[in-house]
Structure formats: structure tokens, C-alpha cells
Amino acid sequence: MKIGIASDHRGVKLKKEIIHYLEEQGHEVVNYGTNSTDSVDYPDYAFRLCDAVLDGTVERGIVICYTGIGMCMACNKVEGIRCAKVENREEATMTRLHNDANVMALRATMPEKTMKEIVDAFINTPFSNEERHLKRIAKLESHHAH
């Protein structure tokens, strides 16, 4: 699978670990920055990754910042992106099965063992394609503020 990854300055270390882990498994990884620990604005990198997911350059995306929350919020501002901030394997599995999440947000301080379990679940879990979930996702995609 071709996977995009992006982080802010706080997520660079974990991002390098994830890239190495995914490449070890034979995945192709595209790094959308940043690659420095100098302070940056996370939305710039979130939006770059989201554009790549939407145009099909990568199949799924992973974003990382200190808490994962800022990156998740930025990604979910992009129409067509469904990003979940996850903390464990079960959340990663369920967001793929039920929400067909195409981007996952992680916190920079995540332990390596947990990261591997989460990444495996996010990459290897297919969307269930069940009618009830398709209906709910359609509602997410079609809502516009009044």
C-alpha cells in the first residue's frame, strides 16, 4: 500500500519510526514533512497530506503532532477526508470498519509497541461496506453548515 505521512515539529521522531516500520513491511511511504524540529504550523502539513489522499497519490494518510488533536482537526476541515485521532488498536480497527477513515492522527508521545499495533490495524482493516455505515458516512459527507 502507498501511505502518506506528515507531522509537525513535535512529531518528527515518531514519524521516522513509522516510516521505517512501514517500509520494513514493504509499503511505499511518502513523507509530506516537516523534517525538522524547528517550530512549524501543523495545518500546512495536514493539508498537504490530505490533498495527496484526495487526488489518489496515496491510499491512506497518517498525521502526527504533540497530541494528535490539532492535526486531526485540520484534516477534518478538508472535504472528503475522514480523520480519526486514535489511541489503541481497537479504535484504529473500528474507525476503518465503521467510518472508512482515510487518515489517522497520532500523538507524538505514543509508545513504539502501541504505534505498531495501531498502524497495523489502520493499514490492514478493510471498510465493512455495510449499509448502515455507508448511510452514516454519506451524512458526514453531505452536511453543510446553515
- Comparing 89 with 143, the larger pLDDT belongs to 89
Q: Are 64 and 8 in contact (CB under 8 A)?
A: yes
Residue 119: name the closest of 100, 106, 133, 136 by CA: 106
The pTM of the full predicted model, rounded to 2 decimals, is: 0.95
pLDDT digits (tens, 9 = 90+) for 3-32: 999 999 999 999 999 999 999 999 999 999
Q: Which three cell numbers stand for residue 119?
A: 498502524
What is the third-level CATH fold of 2-142? Ribose 5-phosphate Isomerase B; Chain: A, (3.40.1400)
Q: Where are the domains of the chain?
A: 2-142
Instruction: Confirm whether 98 is a catalytic residue.
Output: yes
Kindly name the residue from 98, 133, 143, 146 that is annotated as catalytic.
Answer: 98
Q: For strand 83-85 and strand 28-31, is the pairing parallel, antiparallel, or unpaired?
A: unpaired
Could you read off the pLDDT of 37-52 as tens digits, one per residue?
Answer: 999 999 999 999 999 9
